[in-house]
Chain A
Amino acid sequence: MCDFSGKLIAWMDRELPEEEAAAVERHLEACSECRIEVDAFKRVSGEFDAYCDEPMTSNVRQGDPRWVPVVSAVGAVAAVVALFFVWPSTPFQPPAFQPSKAVVVSVSAADTTEGLPARVRPIQKIHRRQVVTPVQIHNTIVAAVQNQDAYVPANEPMIQIAIPADEMFPPGAVPEGIHFAADLTIAADGSAERLRLSPRLAVFERRTTLP
């Protein structure tokens, strides 16, 4: 066996220091036995990679019987039909707010009591097509918002309003999976004193495990 045999795979993987790699390359020019070995190692390496790819393509829904999609489709149709009959008896409900790509505005309650200033109202006009609903916000975000704002006492109740980010920013300006916690402070004269946005990453929220 050749002395360089132990370095061929590391050389193939570009893991050798420059000098050693150069020595291996010089040797390969002269040694046909090592060239054949390198070819074999490359081949088996490629086959191992292909073998690893196989579970990725066959693992998905491998165990599902063939009748499962049919039953699922029948179930879906039944659900739609049932919904059709039930729908008129229930009052219209506004669509649920989608939490991704949204701005949550927290407004101090003391500043938003009677006589909401005229300068703030355009927020509602701009979003008149959207249903503004209270949002249950994660405690850490509330805490972060409260900590950031020295003007709002931490124990003061807050009103939270969700505004879709698409309404505030041009299309494409907000990266996918980002939503914002916004902190709005209104001065005594009704003017918007300060508005601070903190981006939050929504893309890594835990995926709901499918049954």
Chain B
Amino acid sequence: MSGDAANLALPLSRLSTGACEATTLYRELRKPLLRYLVCLGLSSDEAQDVVQDAFLSLHRHLASGGPQENIKGWLFRVAHNQARNRQNRYDRNFSAPGDPELNSVSHDATPERAVLEKEKYRQLGKAILLLSTSERECLLLRATGLRYREIGEVLGIATSTVSDTVDRAIKKLAEKCNV
């Protein structure tokens, strides 16, 4: 048996390469995906369910020999579509940005600075509410580090449209927040 085990070590490392790749992707992309989904308005539990489902789909996709280019964009698209299917809670976070005191102000800030930061946070929340859905989605996907081309693939729009949308959204935010 010990001889068999020694012989098995070589094919094992070769066979598990694909699985390792998927595991690496999981470690790398789980957090950005969660962040995006939570910002879209899903609860922490819902977001984790969607992420799990998305990676299960990825596993099936890779196992069935699906194309491996731009896996990151592929994953975000799957997660995005699943989040859209839970549309009833989709806009919750941005329609109710929550209490600005939560974690948004650093603990060592002076009272005046804390008030200013809270006010700025409140203004930003209001400005984000005024953005269109596609503007918000573009900015959220951009915040996770996706390129314009990848954002276009996730949302099903042209890269040039993503560029225009991001440009417009950032300018709106800068104007509303008086930055």
Q: CA A175 – CA B44 in complex, angstroms?
A: 27
Residues of B within 8 A of A15 (CB): 147-148, 163
Which of B45, B93, B139, B142 is in CB contact (< 8 Å) with A55? Answer: B93
List the one stretch of A71-79, A90-98, A148-156, A193-201 in contact with chain B.
A193-201
List the one stretch of A25-33, A38-46, A108-116 in contact with chain B.
A38-46
| In the complex with contacts A48-B124, A197-B11, A56-B170 CB distance below 8 A | no
B35 & A56 in contact (Cβ 8 Å cutoff): yes
Which of A13, A48, A178, A209 is in CB contact (< 8 Å) with B173? Answer: A48
Which of A51, A56, A57 is in CB contact (< 8 Å) with B124? Answer: A51
- Name the distance in Å between B130's Cβ and chain A's nearest Cβ: 13
A206 & B143 in contact (Cβ 8 Å cutoff): no
Q: Which residue of B lies closest to A9 (CB)?
A: B167
Interface of chain A residues 152 through 211 with chain B (CB within 8 A) = 168-169, 173-178, 180, 192, 195, 197-201, 203-204, 206-207, 209-210
Which of B19, B59, B102, B142 is in CB contact (< 8 Å) with A13? Answer: B142
A203 & B174 in contact (Cβ 8 Å cutoff): no
Q: CA A16 – CA B59 in complex, angstroms?
A: 34
Interface size on B, residues (CB 8 A): 54
| In the complex with contacts A60-B44, A199-B15, A51-B125 CB distance below 8 A | yes
A199 & B16 in contact (Cβ 8 Å cutoff): yes
Q: Is A6 an interface residue (CB 8 A)?
A: yes
B38 & A55 in contact (Cβ 8 Å cutoff): yes
Interface of chain B residues 46 through 60 with chain A (CB within 8 A) = 48-49, 52-53, 55-56, 58-59
Q: CA A6 – CA B170 in complex, angstroms?
A: 11
| In the complex with contacts A51-B121, A199-B15, A201-B19, A207-B142 CB distance below 8 A | no
Which of B34, B53, B139, B148 is in CB contact (< 8 Å) with A48? Answer: B139
A44 & B173 in contact (Cβ 8 Å cutoff): yes
Q: Is A19 an interface residue (CB 8 A)?
A: no
Q: CA A12 – CA B120 in complex, angstroms?
A: 23
Q: CA A20 – CA B45 in complex, angstroms?
A: 44
Q: CA A46 – CA B147 in complex, angstroms?
A: 17
B34 & A56 in contact (Cβ 8 Å cutoff): yes
Q: Is A53 an interface residue (CB 8 A)?
A: yes
Residues of B within 8 A of A55 (CB): 38-39, 93, 98
Mask, B142-174, CB within 8 Å of A = 1, is 110001100000000000000100110011011
Q: Is B78 an interface residue (CB 8 A)?
A: no
Q: CA A45 – CA B23 in complex, angstroms?
A: 31
| In the complex with contacts A56-B35, A177-B23, A204-B55 CB distance below 8 A | yes
A47 & B23 in contact (Cβ 8 Å cutoff): no
- Name the distance in Å between A203's Cβ and chain B's nearest Cβ: 6
Which of A40, A192, A206 is in CB contact (< 8 Å) with B56? Answer: A206
Q: Is A118 an interface residue (CB 8 A)?
A: no
Which of A40, A54, A178 is in CB contact (< 8 Å) with B179? Answer: A40
Mask, B73-103, CB within 8 Å of A = 1, is 0000000000000000000010000100011
Interface residues of B (CB under 8 A from A): 1, 4-5, 8-9, 11-12, 15-16, 19-20, 22-23, 26, 34-35, 38-39, 43-45, 48-49, 52-53, 55-56, 58-59, 93, 98, 102-104, 120-121, 124-125, 128, 139-140, 142-143, 147-148, 163, 166-167, 170-171, 173-174, 177, 179
**CB pairs A–B below 8 angstroms (5 shown):** A51-B125, A123-B1, A180-B12, A199-B16, A203-B23
